[in-house]
Each structure stands twice: as structure tokens, then as C-alpha cells.
Amino acid sequence: MKIKDLDFEKFIGEEEIKQKIAFIAETIENHYAGKTPVFLPILNGSFMFGADLLKHISIPCRVSFVKISSYVGTVSSGQIKTLIGLDESLFNQDILIVEDIIDTGLTLQKIVEELKSLGTKSVEVISLLRKKSARDKGIAVKYLGFEIESEFVVGYGLDYDGLGRNLREIYKTDSENLAGKNGQV
């Protein structure tokens, strides 16, 4: 399958994704029994994963889709990333961040810091995928779907230059010569 200039091959099938999601959901339900966690799926990448995961969650919970915005701060430190779309107080809440993929882990680090500064009770991370780069750096993901190497992937919410998010399966391309071709958030 070709998207723009790149060739992709099938990597993780629909059924495999479904089974993994059911397993993650069951684990979370056990860990959060008696609590009312707040799920924060990060747009755009997590729209499909977040929706499918939440269909399997039957304990009481809140859901708020959020986005990361980059803006240039008043100080000269360059780009600052912040969460937008938070429509309720997270004070004293058990937070579950829902991410599509963790690569360098930089995005995630910022989000976790910001959420902790809001006086939350706990902050944990659910991610469908984690790349080798994050694994090597020891980026902690409590609930993880799949460990992958450094291949670039699209589908099931993940994009290449804005394309491919609608695909029901995950596709990969060889990571060679792909420097700088990260998807959008």
C-alpha cells in the first residue's frame, strides 16, 4: 500500500488489536475497581484507540479528549507544549493518559509533568505502541499494547503527513531514511 511517497506493509491486524485492547481494559478495570478514573485520550492519534478501549471499560469513569498545542512562550526558550481541551477539574483525580505511540517520549514527559502540577491523585499512561527509542530511555508505560522497533507506522489513528488515520489496521514502512518523517500529533 502506498501513501504519498512511501510503501507500507501490513503489520498489526484488526483482530490482534482488538484482543490486546480487551486485555488492557480488563487489567485497568481490576486496578481501578472502586475508583472513578479520568481517561484523557490525546488527539488526534488516539481517537480510535481511545474509543475502542473505552467500549470495554464498564467501571464508572470520565472521558475527556485533549490535544497538545504548541505555542511560542513569552520567554525565549522556544516552543512550549500544553494540554488544551481540559473541561473539568482534575484535582485529586486518578488520571489515565491514552496515547497512540511513544517514540522519544518527550511529548509524554511534558503531559505527565503538567498533569502532576494540577494536583491530581495519580497519573498513569496507556499507550497502544512504544518504540525502541522510548524503551531504551526507560520511559514508563504502565499499560502497553505493543513494543515495536523503530519502524514508522500508520493506521488505527496514526498518520503519515495527515494520511492513514482511518485505516483499521496498523501498517509499517522501513525506518531507513525516515529521519524527520514523524506523524503529526
Which residues are tagged catalytic?
103
Minimum distance from residue 30 beta carbon to Mg ion (Å): 27
Q: Which residues contact 103 (CB under 8 A, 6 or more apart)?
A: 131, 133, 134, 182
Other CB atoms within a 10 A radius of the CB of residue 89 amount to: 11
Give the residue carrying C-alpha cell 519502524: 151
Is residue 45 within the footprint of Mg ion (CB under 5 A)? yes
Is residue 185 within the footprint of Mg ion (CB under 5 A)? yes
Is residue 82 within the footprint of ligand IMP (CB under 6 A)? no
State the Cα–Cα distance between residues 11 and 19, nearest whole angstrom: 15
Residues 81-100 that bind Mg ion (CB under 5 A): 100
- Per partner kind, with CB cut-offs from 5 to 8 A, the member of ligand IMP, Mg ion, none near residue 102 is ligand IMP
For the chain, give the longest Cα–Cα distance. Answer: 50
Is residue 101 within the footprint of ligand IMP (CB under 6 A)? yes
Minimum distance from residue 27 beta carbon to ligand IMP (Å): 22
The DSSP element (H or E) to which 145 belongs, if any, is: strand 143-147
Provide the binding-site residues for ligand IMP, judged by CB under 6 A: 45, 99-108, 152-154, 158-159, 182-183, 185
